[in-house]
A and B are shown apart, each in its own frame.
Chain A
Amino acid sequence: MPHVVEMKKITKKFPNVIANDEVDFTLEQGEIHVLLGENGAGKTTLMNQLYGLYTPTSGEIYIHGKKVDIKDPNVAIGYGIGMVHQHFMLVEPFTVAENIILGSEPKKGIRLDIEKARADVREISNLYGLQVDPDAVIHDITVGMQQRVEILKALYRGAEILILDEPTAVLTPQEIEELGIIMHRLTDQGKSIILITHKLKEVMALSDRVTVIRRGKNVETLVNENTSVDQLAELMVGRKVNLEVDKMPREPGEVLLEVENLKCHNNRKVPVLKGCSFNVRAGEILAIAGVDGNGQTELVEVLTGLRKPESGSIRFAGNNIFKAHTKDIIEEGISHIPEDRQKRGLVMSHTLAENSILGSHKKEPFSKNGIMNYPKIHEYSRGLIAEFDVRTPSENVAASALSGGNQQKLIVARELMRDPMMLIASQPTRGVDVGAIEFIHKRLVEQRDHGKAVLLVSLELDEVMALADRIAVIYDGAIVGLVEGSKATERELGILMAGGSLNKTAEDKEGDHGKNN
């Protein structure tokens, strides 16, 4: 039997970059095939060519043994290919049913047959066991639900081959588990699934086969049973990596940051922090865990002076920093690794030298009486680059010329070299390669060991559990639970992240069992 999909020697060149270099990929009937690689390795580019968003520079694509030319997504849909993108493409004010039928609406004359649409959606959701409420409006349902809608949308268009691009990034551990069940149910019904990810644990849990891509070339295709997390990590990065974080127990010092009953609004003037309280002590890593969009971004912005809070109190080392200006907060000794390095962390058109003093540009020796001392700045920047192993030809290149991982290293370098009393690290390893993750984690632990306070805000539960001394779970703008890092379990955190409470854990467990049976 021919392969469902066979991509032969696919090469895709962009100006200055070869994103895919003679990549081969095959998908078998009914399998879950993971496409594994670091950020920027070319996974999504390869799949975008299968889905018709890009055309390959050279190479051939076969579907069920027949050579095809996929010029645009409509052609791909015609061949039964469906793609669920990392960022959902749903119309927020529309209902679930309206979103699913969008683009291939059932009609009565020229009018939309909404009754048939709802019936169709019910039928298809029963068929695949993907329960959704056809009449719910998208912005009222959870992210996990929205993802289901995206999958249903693809199935409604007759997809036999599903491409899921980093589907777990936005889900709680429980939702990830559920997604796994859904995927297996789909493959049982004869669908074939391509899963794009860079998370090793998921690969082991979910896949039948894995194809590893590194720097645009395929490295190897492995069968799940014959591989391990360590082997995959090595293939992905190209060298041995230490995935464990070495961390000695340490007695924390006095409380440095005290946040009480903090409230603030988002840009649309909707309350997002609804009474958030916690504290961080010197010599500890406090991690804020939670599903994206529960107020983490706003919390960090308020703490660093980038957003004005409504009410509550923030004290740092005894000083009131509620509504303080960013400049003064930096002055207090708080460093900040922002979640979006390109938006907040760097001025992309500035050189590395100029970027390495952002925030301390008014301090000696970098400037005096308003005149910049560029020789000193360059010298300092060269020091940062050397010590933090930022890969760059020199400090004179623009920040935009660096890879994501190296940009992040530069920010980490800048923030740590300021020798802060406290570091606020917001998703410090988002979108950086495994090597850089290892490096950044080491530095965070080092800060803690030197008696600094570290506030880590992360969506990656693995990261939180590996680094934190204490874990505070944020849900709907408030801290809903505080767990010792060493005692935390993924399950426990997952319940808190979904808005549940640990007191009811026992009941929930029973309930869950009931459902699964």
Chain B
Amino acid sequence: MEKTTESRWAQLWDNFKFPLLSIFLAFLIGSIFIILTGNNPFVAYYALISGSMFGMSRIGETLLKTTPLIFTGLSIAFAFRCGLFNIGAEGQFVIGTLFTVTAGYIFRDLPAPLLIPIILTAGALGGGLWAAIPGVLKAKLGVHEVIVTIMLNYTALFLTNFFIRTSLNPSTLQGDVQKAHSVILGENARLSNMSDLMPIFGSSSLHTGIFIAVAAAFVMWFLLYKTTMGYEIRSVGSNPFASEYGGISISKNIIKAMFISGMLSGLAGATLVSGLTFKIDQAPASAGYGFTGIAVALVGKNHPLGVLASALLFGILANGERKMQIAGIPKEVVGIIQGIIIIFIAGEAILQYFPDLKKKFRRKGPKTEVAEK
């Protein structure tokens, strides 16, 4: 047994050494850009780190930004495990918020211990159903999920905007004037603020959604690696032909995986609404949590625990950005660093998918073979 655990650590290190290296290199290259803008990289990175981690209320803000990214990262990682590229986390997130607010209004008279689970479930269900649409289309008709999920992102956004303007508007439901946002959730539908529970978090808006997010990662890990369902989903993701051979239904697992993936994105929306915004604003474009989730999943190597770590990294970058700006460094630098991390990690993935390319790189490397006569 001793040996097994040892090799498991080695395996874990094997999986994460490349992302860690990528992050380090990204900061290194990012510093070139900082120098180009006429600033000192040490000052910039100090601002980034201090702005996101020095002091409990800053850590609280960082975790607040991390929470939805954990959910969307898990969502995309889960779909990836079944071989599906869920670009629709953004749309599923938006539908999650829509369902949460709707349920919050319908059941507004229930006490908090009942209402909060109901609205979170509603949000998850909304995201899940929204994701099941491309799942069913892929499983039954072979329509590629990337196309359907991208299109559904817009559908979700405009559908939600429509409901905010009409049936969910305070003017319709509460006889108020027309507003640019939905009805506001009551106190009994709101997740507790962390600083109420632990005053040490001070002025941060961190809510208990972070616990749900971390729990979701462990649930996903258990589901993927300890259940027959996870075994089937991973099998279909790695080799659908062999799965079929083993009596595993490809189409059922595709739908299942999309539904669960969508539920996770839906929960991102649900916890955001129930923990922070309490309403949905009409928006010309969506917030981008779903898209950042793709990067989070990629950096976290599609492993639930890897996603926790990489979501935290993206949370730190997002929160430290402001402090960097105050220090006079353009906030685009953070975007550049994010981009470089992704390029490095995706670069490795590309080499994995095209082993020939890898060989070619190695072969073409030293051009020593000159014709001798």
Contacts and interface: CB of A to CB of B under 8 A. Distances in A.
Contact of A347 (B7, B226, B243, B358): B243
B367 to A, nearest CB: 11
A336 B245 contact: yes
A376 interface: no
Interface of A: 14-15, 55, 67, 69, 71, 304-306, 325-330, 336, 338, 343-350, 354, 358-359, 361-362, 367, 370-372, 374, 394, 396
Contact of A344 (B245, B247, B358): B245
Given A367-B228, A370-B229, A15 B242 contact: no
A328 B247 CA distance: 8
B241 A343 contact: yes
B4 A361 contact: no
Given A69-B369, A372-B231, A327 B239 contact: no
B238 interface: yes
Contacts of B228: 361-362, 367, 370-372
B244 interface: yes
A372 B242 contact: no
A371 B229 CA distance: 8
B227 to A, nearest CB: 5
Most A CB atoms within 10 A — which of B4, B230, B235? Answer: B235
A344 B242 contact: yes
Looking at A55, A329, A344, which has the most chain B CB atoms within 10 Å of its CB?
A344
Contacts of B230: 372
Interface string B218-252: 00000000111111101100110111111111000
Contacts of A348: 238-239
B231 A354 contact: yes
B17 interface: no
Contacts of B241: 343-344
A359 B238 CA distance: 15
Nearest to B231: A361
24 contacts: A69-B371, A71-B369, A305-B247, A306-B244, A306-B245, A326-B245, A329-B247, A330-B246, A330-B247, A343-B242, A344-B241, A344-B242, A344-B244, A346-B239, A346-B242, A347-B243, A348-B238, A349-B238, A350-B234, A358-B245, A359-B247, A370-B227, A372-B226, A372-B230
A358 B226 CA distance: 15
B372 interface: yes
Contacts of A14: 359
The contact size tier of chain B is 20 to 34
A327 B243 CA distance: 11
B226 A361 contact: no
Contact of B242 (A305, A345, A371): A345
Given A361-B231, A396-B7, 11 more contacts: A55-B369, A344-B244, A346-B239, A348-B238, A349-B238, A349-B239, A359-B245, A359-B247, A362-B228, A367-B231, A372-B230
Contacts of A328: 247
B302 to A, nearest CB: 12
Contacts of B246: 326, 330, 358-359, 361
A67 B359 CA distance: 27
Contacts of A394: 7
Interface in B249-277: 249
A346 B242 CA distance: 6
Nearest to A366: B228
A325 B249 CA distance: 9
A494 B359 CA distance: 42
Contacts of B369: 55, 69, 71
